[in-house]
Amino acid sequence: GVLDEERELGQLFSLDVDLWTDFEKCTEHDNVKKTVDYSELVKIVKDHSKKIYCLTIEKYSNEIIEIINEKFELKRVKIILTKCSPPITGFYGKVSIVRTLENN
């Protein structure tokens, strides 16, 4: 976070991930090894979040989309990264950023 208190106390984020890939082999054989292992994706993102230091949600969202893209063969990935309680005086909502990456 930008503010000292954000860096000291940490932040709570929510992450939604949409993936586009060839799900045909998984569908035919009902085999998890033929698709994206979502538990592995979650573990990678969680592990990475403990190591990264970013001032902005924009940078953090870029880091997340890049590690997902590096690990999995995807046609497209879209994430919605939400800061659940941004420290903005008089504001009690959430702040989200949407990022999309397409591979040719």
Is 83 catalytic? The answer is yes
Residue among 46, 51, 71, 83 flagged as catalytic: 83
Contact partners, residue 63, CB within 8 Å, separation at least 6: 48, 52, 54
CA-to-CA distance for 16 and 33, rounded, in angstroms? 22
80 close to 68: Cβ distance less than 8 angstroms: no
23 close to 35: Cβ distance less than 8 angstroms: yes
Residues marked as catalytic: 83
